[in-house]
């Protein structure tokens, strides 16, 4: 289903989709009309294309509303936008968007993004998702419906998005935005113990706590994060004035000093965090995502890792990789 108040864009989408096998398209020029159709459950759609700028309900708000519908928790949502600034696009991903296409778009580019969405619909290894409000439920220690190295996405957490969406965001940043883009990884060093001894809710609580620590320490609105599995978070910030990293390390240490995470069944959770120094992404679109992310992760898991240890004996250490 495509939702856009521009009839020319809707005609282009129809022209693009028609040659693709087994795909039919429903169009709407009104976000209110689209919401009425989706919320009524009268029809099921495998993919949604939403214009960000619409006169009644904007596309980001509509995206957020759609994600509240049980039938569309995992439906690929592609945003159509003339905006290229990182903040606007970031808001769309936080609202639940899967990918985005910049207007005016090439038909070939739209086709490729639709093919990716189609593969997402058909795949069987979807990322497990838990609403943040469900983290109040303790669950059973050491019992999880996913492997330790599998991503776990906590929904409704500011600046935390799914791993695919983070890659899509990085892959389509404009060349001018790449100069202001900085990427780093953070890893919860005690994640294996948390996985073995804690419940899924307690694992999720540790991930959420880590995202909040990083977000508060950086204080960067153009920051997006995604959990990649094994307690590793990839972080992408777009800012013309990168923060003083020594000050960030000190801020993260203060946050860890003040936190008090506890198991529901066995007391305090041991918590140790490593944060890698930021890097800039590769310019090549074909190498940008995987090679950049691999390099960032190597800074917290590779042999070059160095640690900063908290001085108070009762505190858990915070490690900072060079």
Question: How does pLDDT run across 233-261, given as a tens digit for each residue?
Answer: 999 999 888 888 888 888 888 888 887 77
Q: Read out DSSP for 125-162?
A: -PPPEEEGGGGG----TT--SS-TTS--EEET-TTB--
> What are the Cα distances from residue 300, in Å, to 44, 237, 269, 273?
43, 18, 21, 10
Beta-bridge partner residues of 274: 187, 319
Q: Domains in the chain, ordered, with CATH?
A: 2-122 (3.40.50.2300), 129-321 (3.30.70.270)
User: How many other C-beta atoms can be found within 10 angstroms of the C-beta atom of residue 74?
Assistant: 15
Q: What is the pLDDT of residue 319?
A: 40
Q: Average pLDDT of 194-205?
A: 89
Whole-model pTM above 0.95? Answer: no
Question: How does pLDDT run across 150-185, given as a tens digit for each residue?
Answer: 998 998 898 999 998 899 889 888 777 888 899 999
Determine contact, residues 175/240, Cβ cutoff 8 Å. no
Q: What kind and span of H or E run contains 225?
A: strand 223-229
> Any alpha helices (H) in the chain, and if so which ranges?
7-17, 31-40, 59-66, 86-94, 107-122, 163-171, 175-178, 191-197, 200-218, 245-258, 288-301
Burial per residue of 237-254, b for 16 or more beta-carbon CB atoms within 10 angstroms, e otherwise:
bbbeebbeeeebbebbbe
Q: What is the pLDDT of residue 125?
A: 56
Average model confidence (pLDDT) across the chain: 83
Q: Which residues contact 283 (CB under 8 A, 6 or more apart)?
A: 175, 178
Q: What kind and span of H or E run contains 78?
A: strand 77-81
User: How many other C-beta atoms can be found within 10 angstroms of the C-beta atom of residue 129?
Assistant: 14
């Amino acid at each position: 289903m495509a939702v856009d108040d521009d009839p020319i864009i809707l005609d282009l989408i129809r022209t693009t989709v028609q040659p693709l096998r087994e795909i039919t398209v429903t169009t709407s020029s009104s976000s209110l009309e689209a919401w009425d159709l989706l919320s009524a459950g009268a029809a099921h759609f495998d993919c949604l294309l939403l214009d960000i700028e619409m006169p009644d309900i904007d596309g980001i708000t509509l995206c957020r509303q759609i994600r509240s519908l049980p039938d569309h928790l995992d439906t690929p949502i592609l945003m159509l936008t003339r905006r290229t600034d990182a903040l606007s696009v970031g808001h769309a991903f936080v609202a639940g968007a899967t990918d985005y296409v910049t207007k005016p778009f090439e038909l070939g580019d739209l086709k490729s993004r639709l093919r990716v969405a189609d593969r997402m619909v058909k795949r069987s290894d979807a990322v497990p998702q838990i609403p943040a409000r469900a983290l109040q439920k303790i669950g059973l220690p050491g019992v999880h419906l996913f492997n330790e190295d599998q991503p776990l996405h906590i929904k409704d957490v500011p600046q935390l998005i799914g791993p695919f969406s983070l890659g899509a965001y990085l892959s389509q940043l404009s060349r001018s935005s790449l100069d202001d883009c900085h990427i780093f990884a953070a890893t919860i060093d005690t994640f294996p113990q948390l996985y073995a001894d804690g419940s899924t809710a307690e694992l999720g609580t540790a991930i959420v706590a880590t995202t909040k620590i990083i977000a508060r320490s950086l204080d960067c609105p153009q920051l997006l994060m995604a959990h990649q599995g094994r307690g590793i978070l990839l972080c992408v910030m777009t800012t013309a004035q990168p923060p003083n990293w020594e000050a960030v390390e000190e801020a993260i240490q203060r946050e860890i000093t003040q936190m008090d995470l506890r198991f529901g069944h066995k007391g305090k959770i041991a918590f140790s965090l490593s944060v890698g120094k930021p890097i800039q992404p590769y310019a090549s679109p074909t190498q940008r995502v995987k090679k950049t992310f691999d390099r960032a992760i190597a800074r917290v898991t590779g042999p070059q890792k160095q640690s900063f240890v908290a001085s108070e004996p009762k505190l858990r250490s915070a490690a900072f990789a060079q």
